[in-house]
Amino acid sequence: MKILAINPGSTSTKIAVYENETPILVRNIRHTVEELSAYPQVIDQFEFRKNLVLQELEANGIPFAFDAIVGRGGLVKPIPGGVYEVNDAMKRDTLHAMRTHVCNLGGLIADELSSSLPSCRAFIADPGVVDELEDIARITGSPLMPRITIWHALNQKAIARRFAQEQHTHYESLDLIICHLGGGISIAVHQHGRAIDANNALDGEGPFSPERAGTLPAGQLIDLCFSGQFTKDELKKRISGRAGLTAHLGTTDVAAIIQSIEKGDKKAELVIDAMIYNIAKAIGAASTVLCGKIDAILLTGGIAYSDYVVSRLTKRIAFLAPIYVYPGEDEMEALALNALSALKGELPIQIYK
Ligand SMILES: Nc1ncnc2c1ncn2[C@@H]1O[C@H](COP(=O)(O)OP(=O)(O)OP(=O)(O)O)[C@@H](O)[C@H]1O
Ligand SMILES: CCCC(=O)O
């Protein structure tokens, strides 16, 4: 069976072609800020990203013939994890998604491309809105604002399964805390194969990250909203996009920030150490969800390549559980293998309503 996986990211479009379990093409097409700035809204990038996928296939001599095309899922309604067929309800909700995020294009491109092929299915898998929270985790101090979760479900679940395989056990048998250290930072508690707690990494909960503000002082935020200094869109960007490391230090490039720390940049040192401190506090809080009975803490995402960050974080959290580091992400393989398992009937194909 042949699978095409498409993962639109804020700075890249990743594509992979799998023949059963074997990758035959894996590409990361990078985009410059100038290139993307030609498109006022994320949805305006649809044709551009779709054509890039087609060009990449052609350039690599891959015939356009697939049994399934699977895209990174968008920020639709909260749903349990797994594989979903792209349908009209999902497309409608994606086009009116509650939050702008380039992942919204994944399922739409998969659907459009698959519609030109006979008997090719379009799927998404484990989108950022996967919601397996316990009810107790939804309650906040205001009934007007229940907790929601937006997190790196696809990579976290893929890394959890990889760890379980390495330990000769099953994801469903483990109690894990997983921390994805990327442009956004998500921390989830996985109890026996369900993510019973996870932060809203995108807009306003958890540690700050290279691009996200994380939890903010609510009173000050309200004052800022009514200060007349910013439009609604500008303020939203101060929470997600132009926030975190990039707001403090003008860059999201953690390797470059660490180089400047090594040259004596004290401000950069303070800000990175504050980010590590906040990540450690959030992992500590997550440990209480499992009453401290944690099989392992898994660190993943691009920043997990950094010894500077991982060693300092480890110092603060090592008392909680054994720590395992999986730098980068497994999203392309996870997308392709989820689609393959769905086609083979090993995973249910869920219906989005
Ligand atoms: N070798 C490295 N050392 C330190 N930091 C790194 C390294 N490689 C990548 N990073 C950092 O990882 C972050 C990006 O991580 P990642 O690629 O997982 O995120 P993304 O895919 O852009 O966004 P997200 O993971 O939130 O969807 C950036 O801040 C980048 O500077
Ligand atoms: C689903 C991804 C969350 C984030 O980008 O912060």
pLDDT at 40: 86
Tell me how far the alpha carbon of residue 268 lies from the centroid of ligand 2, in angstroms. Answer: 24
Query: Could you identify the atom of ligand 2 that is nearest to the CA of residue 127?
Result: 1
* Averaged pLDDT of the chain: 96
202 and 62 both lie in a single domain: no
pLDDT at 9 over 90: no
For a pLDDT cut of 90, what percent of the chain falls above it?
Answer: 91
> Is residue 215 located within the same domain as residue 290?
yes
Taking only the tens place, the pLDDT of each residue in 18-74 is 999 999 999 999 888 788 889 988 899 999 999 999 999 999 999 999 999 999 999
Taking only the tens place, the pLDDT of each residue in 318-330 is 999 999 999 998 8
Atom of ligand 1 nearest to the CA of 185: 26
In a domain, 88, yes or no: yes
CA-to-CA separations, 64 to 17, 55, 56, 67, 225, in angstroms, rounded: 10, 11, 11, 10, 49
Cα dihedral angle (288, 286, 74, 300), rounded to 10 degrees?
-140
For 33-52, the DSSP string reads HHHHHT-SSGGGGHHHHHHH
- Asked whether residue 234 falls in the same domain as residue 297, the answer is yes
In a domain, 68, yes or no: yes
d(C-alpha 64, C-alpha 220), whole Å: 53
Spatial separation of the C-alpha atoms in residues 271 and 135, rounded to whole Å: 34
Q: Are residues 339 and 311 in the same domain?
A: no
Residues with CB under 6 A from ligand 2: 128, 150-152, 184, 201-202, 212
Count of domains forming the chain = 2
**pLDDT value at residue 254:** 95
27 assigned to some structural domain:
yes
pLDDT in the model for residue 2: 98
Nearest to 107 by CA among 7, 31, 40: 7
pLDDT value for 98: 77
Q: Within a domain: residue 281?
A: yes
pLDDT tens-digit map of 66-123:
999 999 999 999 999 999 999 999 999 999 887 888 999 999 999 999 999 999 999 9
CA 320 to centroid of ligand 1, rounded, Å: 25
Is residue 107 domain-resident? yes
* Residue whose entry in the numeric block shows the structure tokens 């994890």: 81
Are residues 24 and 77 located together in one domain of the fold? yes
pTM equals 0.94
Whether residue 228 sits in one domain with residue 121: no
206 in the same domain as 292: yes
Q: Does residue 144 fall inside a structural domain? A: no
Residue 231, Cβ neighbours under 10 Å: how many? 9
113 and 159 part of one domain: no
33 CB burial (10 A radius; 0-12, 13-18, 19+): exposed
| CATH number of 206's domain | 3.30.420.40
For 270, phi then psi, to 5°, come to -65, -45
Neighbouring-strand partners of residue 17: 4, 25
Report ipTM (2 d.p.): 0.97
Does residue 323 share a domain with residue 335? no
Residues 164 and 299 in one domain: yes
The atom number, within ligand 1, closest to the CA of 10 reads: 22
* Distance between Cα 149 and ligand 2 center (Å): 10
The reported pLDDT for the residue numbered 184 is 92
Q: Where in the sequence is the domain holding 111, given as residue range(s)?
A: 2-132+331-351
Residues 255 and 317 in one domain: yes
Give the CA radius of gyration of the chain.
20
Does one domain contain both 19 and 97?
Answer: yes
| C-alpha closest to that of 37 among 73, 10, 6 | 10
- Six-digit token string for 127: 């989108």
Of the residues 104, 254, 271, 300, which should be mutated to test ligand 1's pocket, given the most ligand atoms within 8 Å of the CB? 254
Position 14 pLDDT exceeds 80: yes
Please report whether residue 203 resides in a domain: yes
Rounded to the nearest whole angstrom, what is the distance from the C-alpha of residue 226 to the centroid of ligand 2? Answer: 27
- CA torsion through residues 25, 298, 12, 154, sign: positive
